[in-house]
Each structure stands twice: as C-alpha cells, then as structure tokens.
Amino acid sequence: MTTAWLTEAFYSLVVGAVWAVRSGRCAQRDFVPMVIRMVLLGACNGKDEQLA
C-alpha cells in the first residue's frame, strides 16, 4: 500500500466519523474511540468487543 492510499483511507475514516456524529448516528464522545478502534483493530465482525 502506498502512503497516499493510506492517507486517503485515514482521511475518509475521519470524515465518515464526523458525518456520523453530525447526522446523529453516533455520540460525539464516541468519535475518538471509534476511529482509534478502527485504525488499530480494523473492521472486525463484532469480536472486538472482547478486546476492549
């Protein structure tokens, strides 16, 4: 993966999280943990709850 691709993917993740907060889909206090969890754990199928 190139640096540009990783940067764009991270930017899209952050922008998507901001959209979710602004549209009321998630709480503002969940923004940072949500982004960190996605970056560190990736897209898991719900089993990441055990890692928290």
pLDDT of res. 45:
57
Instruction: Read off the pLDDT of residues 4-45 as tens digits, 9 standing for 90 and up.
Output: 888 898 899 889 888 988 999 888 888 888 788 888 877 665
pLDDT of res. 13:
86
pLDDT of res. 5:
87
- 33 or 46: which carries more pLDDT confidence? 33
> What whole-number distance in Å separates Cα of residue 48 and Cα of residue 8?
24
Mind giving me the DSSP string for 4-34? HHHHHHHHHHHHHHHHHHHTTSS-GGGHHHH
pLDDT of res. 23:
93
**Distance between alpha carbon 28 and the CA centroid of its chain, in Å?**
13
**What is the model's pTM?**
0.62
> What whole-number distance in Å separates Cα of residue 47 and Cα of residue 6?
24
pLDDT of res. 49:
55
